[in-house]
Amino acid sequence: MNINRRLWAVAACTFVVLTGPLAHAQDYPTKPIRIIVPLPPGGSNDVLARLLGQKMSEAFGQPVIVENKPGAAGNIATDFVAKSPPDGYTLAIAPNQTVAVNPVLYPKLPFDVVKDLEGVSMLGRVPMVLVVSPKVTAKTVAELIAQARAEPDKLTYASAGAGSPQHMAAEVFKSMTGTRLTQIPYKGSAPALIDVLGGTVDIMFCPINSALPHIRSGKLRALGTTGTGRLALLNGVPTIAETVSGYESDIWIGMVTPAKTPPAIVDKLNAELRRALMLPDVKDKLAEQGIYAEASSAADFTKLIASDQKRWAAVIKAADIKPE
């Protein structure tokens, strides 16, 4: 009888251990969720967080609070989330700069993206476009390459600092074309773009949402886009890859959560993000900002982070890029 009681007790404990997280996930969420954005308000990361946060709030019946934590190239926000409880109530917007570039650019970060975070889903991509100021004579990517080869280091390009998407896109371009361009780093994309518009700097690999109004007004000339396919928003502008085979350097943005978040909660978040990203009004609003909605499984996004870290580690080593 005592043995039977012990067996029942063990079975009951096992049942609680195995079903406890599932029951918790079924109830989730029971309080407000925070989405941490590693950059200031107004950009693509912020737009995604607020639009998807609204849809999540409507679906879950709980407030979703968007909190901007800019600074240290996004490392402050990433560290905050990596050290948060793995309960599904603290999430982070994760552009490739913060989770794929920074971990291989900065040698002593207080967190390990691969060990301390896990993917929830891809959210979208922001194509970039190679633009030149009116004073640059090149009308095509091929002409720009020829000019850069004829006058090494003379052409300047604007970036938002070491490891920024603009910087990495230019380094890949230089490596694949055998050209030498001089980087002019800025503290952010906005001041960089201003100096390209003013002709102080020659070229820039610029997010399409920032560049588009100036391309349409004629203040900037678009030579090529950085993705694998042409963009409807820039009808007639070829991809850089049409001239430089294999070139690609888009910005991607996803969502992460602290490692060891219960799989059932990650699955619930992933399902909601997939649903929201398919909504016509969400896709249209994002497209207006130059953001192309794109969902993925949690596992696939985690794999993308790891594979991109390897890709950018090779670029950073080859170009001897150092953090500022």
SS (H, E, C) 252-302: EEEEEEECCCCHHHHHHHHHHHHHHHHCHHHHHHHHHCCCEECCCCHHHHH
Q: Which residue has the tokens 């910005």?
A: 251
Residues 232 and 258 placed together within one structural domain of the fold: no
Confidence (pLDDT) at 233: 87
Residues 229 and 132 placed together within one structural domain of the fold: yes
Q: Which residues constitute the domain of residue 155?
A: 128-242
Tens digits of residue pLDDT in 18-38: 555 555 577 999 999 999 999
Confidence (pLDDT) at 1: 45
DSSP annotation of 98 reads: I
Q: How far apart are CA 276 and CA 157, in angstroms?
A: 37
Confidence (pLDDT) at 237: 96
Residues 95 and 161 placed together within one structural domain of the fold: no
**313 falls within a domain:** yes
Residues 255 and 231 placed together within one structural domain of the fold: no
| Listed residues 225, 242, 259: the one ending a domain | 242
Q: How far apart are CA 190 and CA 258, in angstroms?
A: 31
Residues 293 and 188 placed together within one structural domain of the fold: no
Question: Left if phi > 0, otherwise alpha if psi is -120 to 50, otherwise beta: which for 320?
Answer: left
Query: Other CB atoms closer than 10 Å to residue 58's CB: what's the count?
Result: 12
**20 falls within a domain:** no
Q: What is the CATH number of the domain that holds 74?
A: 3.40.190.150
Confidence (pLDDT) at 43: 87
Rounded to the nearest 5 degrees, what angle is found at the Cα of 92, between the Cα atoms of 86 and 96?
A: 125
**88 falls within a domain:** yes
Residues 232 and 152 placed together within one structural domain of the fold: yes
Across the chain, the runs of DSSP E, i.e. the strands, are 33-37, 64-68, 90-95, 117-126, 128-132, 156-159, 182-185, 203-207, 221-225, 251-258, 292-293
Positions of the chain with pLDDT lower than 50, given as ranges: 1, 11, 16
Residues 175 and 234 placed together within one structural domain of the fold: yes
Tens digits of residue pLDDT in 228-283: 899 988 989 999 999 999 999 989 999 999 999 999 999 999 999 999 999 999 99
Residues 107 and 141 placed together within one structural domain of the fold: no
Confidence (pLDDT) at 169: 96
The predicted model scores a pTM of 0.87
Confidence (pLDDT) at 5: 61
Total of domains in the chain: 2
| Listed residues 242, 268, 303: the one ending a domain | 242
Residues 297 and 274 placed together within one structural domain of the fold: yes
**21 falls within a domain:** no
Residues 117 and 171 placed together within one structural domain of the fold: no
**7 falls within a domain:** no
